[in-house]
A and B are shown apart, each in its own frame.
Chain A
Amino acid sequence: MSVSPTGLEVHGVTVRFDGRTVLDDRSLYVPHGETCALLGPSGSGKSTLLRVVAGLLVPDAGRVIIDGDDVSDLPTHRRGVGMVFQDDVLFPHLDVGDNVAYGLRAHKVPKAERGPRVAELLALVGLAGFERRTVTTLSGGEAQRVALARALAPRPRVLLLDEPFGALDHDLHDRLVAEVRVLLHDQHVTAVHVTHDPDEAAAIADTVVRL
């Protein structure tokens, strides 16, 4: 790892599905600690680019560099990325606390440190004391906050948000956007936020990139 984190660099990524070019030689630069919004209509390849950064999709060409490390050939779990999906994708067989702790376990964080870290993150997203709740009893907004806490828990170098507020109603949507903006800045996380809503993009991001 380099001495000072430099953020996320994407160089010349090309993705084709069945002969159709979804991303053509696309590059992106997000300085460390900043939030970049990827804005575009559905089908413009913004989610695809996110999956390439996460390593969930192998591009036909292009490199991904995180904080100076070329992670293009690393599998997802060794890239140090966190991802929040369109609808929460919380593990239904685990309770809220175990969902948030999942990444900590995967990174072999000792048990004694996991509890306080989970509590800290749940407090951060305004859900202190929710550890033992089952995920099916959460409202849409609560579930999405838990998903955010889960993604942040292992201290990812890059946080990827794939239309995380798409399924929420208007008031809740605006409130969460404001909260998350503050939260991302306080945590000093490099983040890529995918959305089709220009207002949301302007509200949450330091830079907006149109696809």
Chain B
Amino acid sequence: MLTFLAALPLTIVIGRYRFAARRLVLALVTTPFVLPTVVMGTAVGASLPDRWRTGVPAVLVAHAAMNVAVVVRTVGLAWARLDPRYADAARTLGAGRRHVLRTVVAPLLRGPLVAAAALVFLFTFTSFGIIRILAGPRHPTLEVELWRRATQADIGRAAGLGLLQLAAVIVTLVVWQRASRAGGVGRSSRGLDELRRARGRGERAAVATVCTLTVGALALPFARLVQRSLRVGDHYGLDWYRSLRTSGAGTTRALKPFAAMTTTLTNALVAALVATVVGTLAAYAIAGRRRGAALLDAGLMLPLGTSAVTLGLGVFLAFGRPPIDLRASPFLVPAVHALVGIPFVLRTVLPAIRAVDARLGEAAATLGSTRWRAWWTVELPLVRRPIMAAAGFAAAVSLGEFGATSFLARRATTTVPVAIVDLLGRPGAANVGQAHALAVLLAVVTAAVFLVADAGDRQGW
């Protein structure tokens, strides 16, 4: 609910107006969503006064900030694509502004609204990183409880909780899929050209205010995070950052934050590569074939909804003991990351493939191209950008993956998100300072990867 309230004004603006910085604002709002949940949790924690640092309000704020993007992108973009002549028709029939909104626009946007709600529910329901950091001990969620039991070797109960959660996730995914299929109704063929510019001083000011306030509110926790990462005792300095290189000088355990960064980057590279190849092939399979396509589509979306913890537990149980023991393999973590990244690749590449006019290939064939040549010379150039964007998304996902990794990573292969939570859990200003510094670095890398990828992606989802 909080998410919807926070997102409402910007949704309207994005849905109704076009303006110079529209793409930039969209990208900025989306950034908290793709930033690692651990970073989000740390940032919100860092910006709240001590008394509020943990507990239900902190958790709600963090989730709302993260999911504004989901609502704005799903509902706002659908609104922008709505054929404006439906509203015109209603107005010539005697409907006033509010009447049009209630009887035409709202029903036509019902699909995207429900879809957005389902996604927000899903992400909040399966959220782990944020809750680990902000929830405190008195409000255990399903997710954290699952993790706690698993780490305390209560595998039977943990698996039970995992199944329960899986069931809820599948139900939500079905709702989401139905709703988003209904979202195509009333699409304008002419696309975004119809959006009007804000007229008059009042409207322009309103658009600017909404954009500034929303982006500002979302940026605030990160600004605080950066500030606190630079605060050493009673002065400002780069001490925490420097201490990252010298293998956790202030700590007694042999945790090496800098090594964690290398591991994380390698993981992201491998995971992005695997996810992009597999996801693109799957997208072609889904776009090309009728039978089983819907099932494959839903099946590959599952990792998006399944909580990462459940996934980690599953992998742990499946490959964690003889005859197949892969826990020591350096490829286990990147492989799991790739699995989590596949849905993102699919959602980015599939619309692009579907948008390619089949007649282009036919035209190439009549000009004497083989199928393969036609694909290489005509279709690939058209879908190249979305595929690159998909690789970026997959890399961003891997950079921030926490839930599954926290099960699977060993000390030598620790990733940055795991290291952050580990550091936050220990007492002492040095540990917290290092955690903040690491979170800033991770945020910068992820945001850079995402913004580059998003700039390459025109379709979006």
Partner-B contacts on A (CB < 8 A): 54-56, 75-78, 80-83, 85, 89, 91-93, 102-103, 105-107, 150-151, 153-154, 156, 160
Contacts and interface: CB of A to CB of B under 8 A. Distances in A.
B103 interface: yes
A91 B95 contact: no
B95 A83 contact: no
A78 to B, nearest CB: 8
**A-B CB proximity, top 7 nearest:** A103-B93, A76-B91, A83-B92, A106-B94, A106-B95, A93-B107, A89-B89
Contacts of B297: none
A77 B90 CA distance: 8
A103 B95 CA distance: 7
A151 B91 contact: no
A106 B108 contact: no
Contact of B86 (A89, A150, A156): A89
B426 interface: no
Contacts of B83: 89
Contact of B94 (A85, A91, A154): A154
30 contacts: A54-B92, A56-B88, A56-B91, A75-B91, A75-B96, A76-B88, A76-B91, A77-B91, A77-B99, A78-B94, A82-B93, A83-B89, A85-B89, A89-B86, A91-B107, A91-B108, A92-B185, A93-B107, A93-B185, A93-B186, A102-B95, A106-B90, A106-B95, A106-B96, A107-B94, A150-B89, A150-B93, A151-B92, A151-B93, A160-B92
A172 to B, nearest CB: 22
Interface of B: 83, 85-86, 88-97, 99, 103-104, 107-108, 110, 185-186
Contacts of A106: 90, 93-96, 99, 103
Contacts of B110: 93
Contacts of A78: 94, 96
B266 to A, nearest CB: 50
A92 B107 CA distance: 10
Contacts of B91: 54-56, 75-77
Contact of A92 (B92, B93, B96, B186): B186
Contacts of B92: 54, 56, 76-77, 81-83, 151, 156, 160
B88 A77 contact: no
Contacts of B89: 83, 85, 89, 91, 150
A72 to B, nearest CB: 16
A153 B83 CA distance: 23
Given A56-B88, A82-B92, 17 more contacts: A75-B96, A77-B91, A77-B94, A77-B96, A78-B94, A80-B94, A81-B92, A82-B93, A83-B92, A85-B88, A89-B89, A91-B89, A93-B186, A102-B103, A103-B94, A107-B94, A160-B92
Given A91-B104, A93-B107, A102 B93 contact: yes
B181 to A, nearest CB: 14
A156 B93 CA distance: 8
Contact of A77 (B85, B95, B104, B186): B95
B42 to A, nearest CB: 44
Nearest to B94: A106
Nearest to A93: B107
A47 to B, nearest CB: 11
B29 to A, nearest CB: 29
Contacts of B96: 75, 77-78, 106
Contacts of B99: 77, 106
Contacts of B88: 54, 56, 76, 83, 85, 89
B20 to A, nearest CB: 15
Contacts of A81: 92
Most buried by A among B83, B90, B104, B110: B90
A75 to B, nearest CB: 7
B90 A102 contact: yes
A90 B99 CA distance: 17
Contacts of A105: 103
A106 B94 CA distance: 6
Nearest to B107: A93
Nearest to B84: A56
Contact of B108 (A55, A83, A93, A150): A93
B307 to A, nearest CB: 35
Contacts of A102: 90, 93, 95, 103
Contacts of A54: 88, 91-92
A33 to B, nearest CB: 20
A154 B93 CA distance: 7
Given A92-B185, A93-B108, A85 B90 contact: no
A124 B263 CA distance: 74
B306 to A, nearest CB: 33
Contacts of A107: 94
Contacts of A56: 88, 91-92
B184 to A, nearest CB: 10
